[in-house]
Amino acid sequence: MSAPVPGTPEERHRERMQRKKALVDRKVARATIDRGVLVVNTGNGKGKSSSGFGMLARSLGHGMRCGVVQFIKGTFSTGEEAFFRRAGGDLLDYRVMGEGFTWETQDQARDIAAAAAAWREAARMLSDASYAFVLLDELNIALVKRYVAVEDVLAALAARPAHQHVVVTGRAAPDALLEAADTATEMRLIKHAFQAGVMAQKGIEL
């Protein structure tokens, strides 16, 4: 393959890519810390849990032992639960601990008890070095409603095994949790099919 002619668009593109590659290579070379990371997905947009389950799939693909605790969902079956229970095998500990959305339960005492039970399971996983990846789905909802104490969560996250990755999802993540996170992403809602009267769809929301 012949080299691009000097001064042509192809040559200019190649020079830009060479500069970009050199920049990326320098950043990669500086990233020498090898430890577990805390990822927080928040915001009003769709995709917080979906991103977490994508990372769960990656972790299982690498043969890592994983744990999932779902804090709100629980009264209806979801595609991710059905799939990961089949695919995860002995590598996956999947706990659906929620009683459903608070406007459905209409029972605050029951919601608080369910969140407390879910947090006990989560704390157990966070203290167990055999779990390499832990997904705490919709924990932020329990935190913002004060069903689970932020201080307890931060303490457990700080004390977890050094290699353990944790993903926390849900709207309105507390500032203290965002500060503790290694990676934090806010999903911004632009539009949603539900606003146009489209019911929740299997494979998309369920």
Predicted TM-score (pTM) of the model is: 0.86
In a domain, 186, yes or no: yes
Q: What is the pLDDT of residue 92?
A: 97
Q: Any idea which of 78-87, 97-106, 193-202 has the lowest mean pLDDT?
A: 97-106
Contacts of 115 (CB under 8 A, 6+ apart): 71, 97, 142, 145, 147, 148
In a domain, 12, yes or no: yes
Residue 99 has pLDDT above 80, yes or no: no
Residues 95-122 have a mean pLDDT of 80
Residue 106 has pLDDT above 70, yes or no: no
In a domain, 126, yes or no: yes
Structurally, the chain folds into a number of domains equal to 2
Each residue's pLDDT tens digit, 130-185 = 999 999 999 999 999 999 999 999 999 999 999 999 999 999 999 999 999 999 99
Residue 89 has pLDDT above 70, yes or no: yes
d(CA 112, CA 24): 47
Question: What is the share, in percent, of the chain residues with pLDDT greater than 90?
Answer: 68
Q: Any idea which of 9-18, 97-106, 171-180 has the lowest mean pLDDT?
A: 97-106
How many CA atoms lie within 13 Å of 186's alpha carbon, on the beta-carbon side?
A: 10
Is residue 176 domain-shared with residue 79, that is, in the same domain?
yes
In a domain, 17, yes or no: yes
C-beta separation of 157 from 166 below 8 A:
yes
Q: What is the pLDDT of residue 177?
A: 98
Question: Which residues constitute the domain of residue 47?
Answer: 36-196
Is residue 97 domain-shared with residue 174, that is, in the same domain?
yes
Identify residue 154 by its one-letter amino acid code.
L
Q: What is the pLDDT of residue 103?
A: 46
Residue length of the chain? 206
Is residue 10 domain-shared with residue 42, that is, in the same domain?
no
